[in-house]
Structure 1
Amino acid sequence: MAYYYTNVWSAAVLGFFILFIVSRVTFSEAQKVPGIYVFGDSLVDVGNNNYFTTVVRVNHPHNGIDFPDHKPTGRFSNGKVTADFLAEKVGLPTSPPYLSLTNMLNKNNASFLSGISFASGAAGILDITNKDLAISMNKQVKYYTTSVYEEVVQQLGASEALNHLSKSLFYIVIGNNDIMKYFDRLPVTQQPQEFVDSMILTLKQQLKQLYNYGGRKFVIAGSGPIGCIPLQRHKNNKTLECKQDVNSACLMYNEGLKSMSQELKSELKDINYSYFDTYNFFSNLIQKPVSYGFAEVKVACCGVVDAIDVKHLCRRTSSYCSDRSNYLFWDPYHPSEAASRIVADAVFDDPLQYSFPFNVEQLIAL
């Protein structure tokens, strides 16, 4: 009898460990990275602006109409944004808004380990951009270095925390609002190239701070052709043509961003990055919309552009299109969920036509 029970016990233990190992393998295959830490503006904001006083907020219909529960979430979209889709690609839940979790600090909350989003609608690289309306990039980085990093260290220990963060993705989507505000303030004393240089210099220091606190794998999105968003097209004497002066500044910024990324690679040990050429990818969407399933690329699905004011985001009283998947833009500023899905697919495994020097899938494998 003793022998029988010993064998039964051994078999049970062996079965448990086999099940444990199989579950670990399945888990590791599904979850490609430990976490995603998101920094940026409304293109990747998943609700931070809902948690402080600002007019740049979209927690009302018809935003979120195509989200799973059909309710507004604080996303500047009819549904999901690229941060959601990228998380899906790597087998993680969407990184939650930092401000929704601040009351959970120092409570061993596991949410901090799979990633956090610091992104804020209207945010810029420079503190002066939309001051008091958004969480600036400087403040986003500070939230990470002073709160979240310490939380990860507390939960995992210093050595394991650095290992965890070095394998996580740091997703950066910022700079669009700085460029738009530059043109809103014209005339200014700085020339476009001088202004863009100040953006790049500031962002470089911000990325270095993230590196100093564990970041090693960066996904850096260039500016899109924001002279072609519906709001900017309207400014061009209502011809619906793109604003080429704005687009020229976007290209200047992108060139600086690529050069700065290469500099960081040469200056910092073990850092790697994937730069995504949002400008040319989006330009291709605009020039060949039918190839991507779009019928309208100049006019927004929801919201009107009859004044330069944030109130002309999609509102409860706005009319909206019924065929949202046919529209490249959800509102006068932001892409539709359909567009964000296509962009995220390209960011993840684009065959290097728009990604440099790696796409995200390759970056993860390093």
Structure 2
Amino acid sequence: MVASGAASIAPGTVYFLDNSSLSFKPKSGGGRMTSSDGSIVTGSSARDPARVTEIQGAWWIHGHWPMDDMWPGSRPEDDADCKTLFYNIIHDYKEGTHERTRSLPKPPFAHTSAHIESRRQGASDDADQRYKLFVFGDSFADTGNVPMSDKSGTSRAWYYPYGSSDYDHDKKPTGRFSNGMVQSDFVAKILGRDESPPAERLRGQNGVDPFGMNFAVGGAGAYEVSREAPTLGEQIDKFMRLVRHGIIDEDLKDSVALVAFSGSHDYARVNMSSYADIVAVAKNVVDTIADGVDRLQELGVQKVLVNSLPPLGCRPWWSRSNNYTACYGPQDVVTSVHNMYLKQKLGESDTILLLDLNTIFIKIIVSHGSSPFKHRFTPCCDSFDPVGYCGQEDEDGDVQYSVCSVPDQSFYWDYMHPTQAGWKAVMEQLEEPIKGFLDI
């Protein structure tokens, strides 16, 4: 939200702008005071509304306002959105938009100057800056939306060895289901960013990046979920609320959405011996994805990227039945049926691009002699327990997994997810189609 090296935008901060004439009015009147040196304006009491006012070229925000006066139906977890509202006020002013009524909870007292030089955080000088990115899906794209908790198969992405090759984050786990970057990060790189926009769950801590937001949650499904993780529809519901409340800019014409589901949960309980059951489940899943895309476009999202299903039978979870030497054929029936219906539903639109993960995964994994990976089926992080997970420890703290010495030589990181190098190889082949689709 601010230029590299500057403090993050937050209430209680002085900002120096090029212009001067913005006032911020809450829903009801309130007094204000000016300090003796003329540098601060604030409410006249702790219950007075917050104000943003220009004084000697500086903008100051301070005060308190109850959350239920901000908008109907607001939730306690929205308290931290005050910094986003402040950003929107400043941004609207710089874009020439007229005064907008807002009110803010009481911020922590701070006094930090920063120059607002860029609408989007982490932009390189020559990056294409047109598109905001909004991400929906599961662990293929999640960058920290699964809550951190005691280590388990669900929360494992917050623990070593996850993130162990992620030099951009000091080789520490960040909630990504890989040893480093995941698909949403590489889509963001194609748009000229350093990484995916922040996870929605962390917006109270990090604020809202005007470049976009990531709603994907590990364990989610488009239609079916195996635990308390939001479906695609529920992720879009949250996105819609944030747009309606002004937390996300309602102007979405320069935006692109990534819908990235791996199929792990939607097809977890399908009857593989029944083609009719596979077809029925696939139709439900694809219809749900298509409905979600329609909703995003009705909200104003301009372009949508949608994953095809990758070859499920090539994942280590299934290929281990062949000693990690070949894909498990029956699972690929699911992939074929899903992708056939997906193409029928979404393949003829100028505003939707299907990302053909199936073809690219197969080209990398199955094609003999042309794969850049020494280990195409064997996961880099392999659990000793066939139903265990990467990172698992026993009651004594002894590791119950092994990690390969050179992760970049493995396509898969764990039983389900590519390594950072695997995702890089996949997205390199999708970079030109995406750029052509977005005209960048």
Q: Which has the larger radius of gyration?
A: 2
SS in 1 for 2:179: coil
Give, in angstroms, the shift of residue 329 of structure 1.
Answer: 0.6
**CA gap 1:96/1:230 in 2 versus in 1, 3 angstroms:** same
The alignment's TM-score, normalised by the length of structure 2, stands at: 0.64
Per-residue CA deviations over 1:341-361 (Å, capped at 9, x if unaligned) read: 111222221xxxxxxxxx210
Structure 2, unaligned runs of 5 or more: 1-117, 394-398
The one of 63, 78, 89 aligned to 2:179: 78
Q: Distance in 2 between matches of 1:88 and 1:139?
A: 27
Give the AA of the match of 2:256: L
1:312: which partner in 2?
389
SS in 2 for 1:285: helix
Q: Distance in 2 between matches of 1:215 and 1:243?
A: 38
2:154: which partner in 1?
56
SS in 2 for 1:124: coil
1:101 counterpart = 2:203: yes
Give, in angstroms, the shift of residue 225 of structure 1.
Answer: 0.5
Q: Distance in 1 between matches of 2:363 and 2:384?
A: 24
2:45: which partner in 1?
none
1:33 counterpart = 2:130: yes
SS in 2 for 1:248: helix
Q: Distance in 2 between matches of 1:296 and 1:27?
A: 34
2:47: which partner in 1?
none
1:216: which partner in 2?
302
Q: Please identify which structure carries the higher helix content.
A: 1
Per-residue CA deviations over 1:91-143 (Å, capped at 9, x if unaligned) read: 22421110111467xxxx551x21111111121111x42132x2221221111
1:364: which partner in 2?
438
Give, in angstroms, the shift of residue 209 of structure 1.
Answer: 1.2
Give the AA of the match of 1:96: P
Give, in angstroms, the shift of residue 257 of structure 1.
Answer: 1.0
The count of residues paired between Structure 1 and Structure 2 equals 311
Q: Distance in 1 between matches of 2:232 and 2:345?
A: 17
The one of 309, 314, 319 aligned to 1:233: 319
SS in 2 for 1:170: strand
What is the aligned-residue RMSD (CA, Å)? 2.9
Q: Distance in 2 between matches of 1:341 and 1:35?
A: 21
Map 1:58-207; keep pairs closer than 5 Å: 58-68=157-167, 69-92=170-193, 93-102=195-204, 109-111=207-209, 113-126=210-223, 128-132=224-228, 134-147=229-242, 149-151=243-245, 153=246, 156=249, 161-162=250-251, 165-183=252-270, 191-207=277-293
SS in 1 for 2:166: coil
Structure 1, unaligned runs of 5 or more: 1-22, 266-270, 350-358
**CA gap 1:154/1:301 in 2 versus in 1, 3 angstroms:** closer
Per-residue CA deviations over 1:48-93 (Å, capped at 9, x if unaligned) read: 1135798512211011001120111111111111211221221224
2:351: which partner in 1?
272
Give the AA of the match of 2:188: A
Q: Distance in 1 between matches of 2:273 and 2:234?
A: 28
**CA gap 1:326/1:289 in 2 versus in 1, 3 angstroms:** farther
Q: Distance in 1 between matches of 2:191 and 2:275?
A: 45
Question: Matched residues, percent identical?
Answer: 22
Give the AA of the match of 2:244: E
Map 1:241-252; keep pairs closer than 5 Å: 241-252=326-337
The one of 321, 333, 358 aligned to 2:416: 333
Q: Please identify which structure carries the higher strand content.
A: 2
**CA gap 1:288/1:56 in 2 versus in 1, 3 angstroms:** same
Give the AA of the match of 1:150: R
The one of 251, 255, 273 aligned to 2:340: 255
The alignment's TM-score, normalised by the length of structure 1, stands at: 0.76
